[in-house]
């Protein structure tokens, strides 16, 4: 087992270096599993109250599934959540009457999910697994979702989408929220004054953080809107909608580069609504 990552003063893993370079699928999986295991306590201390114990937030703008209804009626449906983190969405779905299987790459996140299952009395099934190799039978779920879960961290996203299509029943729906591709050319700042292009929207080279020895410890992958459309279609889905949530009136939460002031000007989240043909 690799040694735990050293932490910065804010509780998040300490980055020895930041660069843009290609990484393999295996390298991406290993790095992000370790990073989220180490970051889980700090991340949940910072954002846990906003995420809730049993709530379904599609992104920092404040769009909730209770209002958006992108998954439709979930009562009695078998639902897969990919990249569940501490599993607030899975518990919300459970409370709404769904039979939920929630998976995440990070044991650290799932440990907190188990604690919250116990304290809320809502117990979706939790699995540690990689979206690239889902431990589920073909056509075994009715719906699938991922709220800022695994997709931004996956190198082979087309293969991951094909895996979701494999486990969905014909006529099923997959809804996933990801970082809006438009965020990539701009600095990671919530201040609208910083909306100055500093990179190319078309540069798909992954964002990489390394430790002091140059080992990759965090990876995030950029895709354009067109890339997402092509990957969804190539996996066998029909793209039913692309949702770009506007900032929820009255919401004051600042989350990384997402803020009310910036959210009033440019989108920060893209929600892919994907249907599998019958």
Instruction: Kindly tell me if the per-residue pLDDT of 1 is higher than 70.
Output: no
User: Which residues sit opposite 144 in a β-bridge?
Assistant: 80, 174
What pLDDT, in 10s, does the model give residues 178-235? 999 999 999 999 999 999 999 999 999 999 999 988 899 999 999 999 999 999 999 9
Q: In sequence order, what are the residues at sequence separation of 6 or more whose Cβ sits closer than 8 angstroms to the Cβ of residue 58?
A: 64, 65, 68, 70, 147, 148, 177, 245, 269, 271
- HSE-CB for 130 with a 13 A CA cutoff: 18
What pLDDT, in 10s, does the model give residues 25-60? 999 999 999 999 999 999 999 999 999 999 999 999
Q: In sequence order, what are the residues at sequence separation of 6 or more whose Cβ sits closer than 8 angstroms to the Cβ of residue 73?
A: none
Q: In whole angstroms, what is the distance from residue 5 CA to residue 3 CA?
A: 6
Kindly calculate the radius of gyration of the chain based on its CA atoms and give it in whole angstroms. 18
Q: 145 in the Ramachandran plot: left (φ > 0), alpha (ψ -120 to 50) or beta? A: beta
Q: What is the dihedral of CA 100, 139, 83, 52, to 10 degrees?
A: -30
- pLDDT at position 239 is 98
- Give mean pLDDT, residues 259-267: 96
Q: In whole angstroms, what is the distance from residue 7 CA to residue 45 CA?
A: 15
- Give mean pLDDT, residues 11-18: 92
DSSP string, 55-99: --B-STT--BHHHH-SS---TT-EEEEES-TT-HHHHHHHHTT-E
Instruction: Kindly tell me if the per-residue pLDDT of 2 is higher than 90.
Output: no
Q: What is 17-275's CATH number?
A: 3.40.50.150
Instruction: Kindly tell me if the per-residue pLDDT of 3 is higher than 80.
Output: no
- pLDDT at position 16 is 87
Mean pLDDT is lowest, of 12-16, 58-62, 79-83, 218-222, for 12-16
What pLDDT, in 10s, does the model give residues 106-119? 999 999 999 999 99
φ/ψ (deg, to 5) at 179: -55, 130
DSSP string, 202-213: T--PPEEEE-TT
Q: Which pTM value belongs to this model?
A: 0.96
Task: Please state the domain extents for the chain.
Answer: 17-275
C-beta separation of 47 from 255 below 8 A:
yes
C-beta separation of 59 from 263 below 8 A:
no
Q: In sequence order, what are the residues at sequence separation of 6 or more whose Cβ sits closer than 8 angstroms to the Cβ of residue 205?
A: 20, 21, 22, 222
C-beta separation of 175 from 70 below 8 A:
yes
What pLDDT, in 10s, does the model give residues 146-188? 999 889 999 999 999 999 999 999 999 999 999 999 999 999 9
């Amino acid at each position: 087992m690799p040694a735990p990552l050293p932490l910065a003063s804010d509780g998040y893993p300490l980055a020895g270096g930041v660069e843009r370079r290609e990484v393999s699928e295996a390298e991406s999986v290993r790095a992000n599993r370790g990073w989220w295991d180490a970051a889980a306590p700090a991340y949940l201390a910072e954002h846990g109250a906003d995420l809730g114990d049993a709530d379904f937030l599609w992104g920092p703008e404040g769009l909730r599934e209770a209002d958006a209804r992108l998954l439709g009626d979930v009562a009695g449906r078998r639902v897969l959540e990919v990249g569940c983190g501490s599993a607030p969405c899975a518990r919300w779905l459970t409370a709404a009457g769904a039979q939920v299987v929630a998976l995440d790459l990070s044991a650290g996140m799932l440990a907190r999910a188990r604690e919250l299952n116990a304290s809320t009395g809502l117990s979706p099934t939790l699995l540690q697994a990689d979206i690239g190799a889902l431990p589920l039978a073909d056509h075994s779920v009715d719906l699938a979702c991922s709220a800022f879960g695994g997709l931004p961290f996956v190198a082979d996203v087309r293969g991951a989408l094909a895996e979701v299509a494999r486990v969905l029943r014909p006529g099923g729906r997959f809804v996933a929220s990801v970082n809006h591709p438009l965020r990539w050319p701009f600095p990671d700042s919530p201040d609208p004054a910083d909306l100055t292009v500093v990179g190319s929207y078309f540069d798909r080279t992954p964002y990489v953080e390394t430790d002091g020895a140059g080992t990759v410890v965090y990876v995030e992958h950029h895709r354009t809107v067109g890339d997402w459309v092509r990957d969804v279609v190539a996996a066998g889905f029909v793209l039913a909608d692309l949702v770009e949530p506007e900032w929820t009136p009255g919401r004051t939460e600042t989350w990384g580069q997402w803020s009310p002031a910036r959210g009033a000007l440019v989108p920060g989240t893209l929600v892919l609504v994907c249907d599998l043909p019958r």
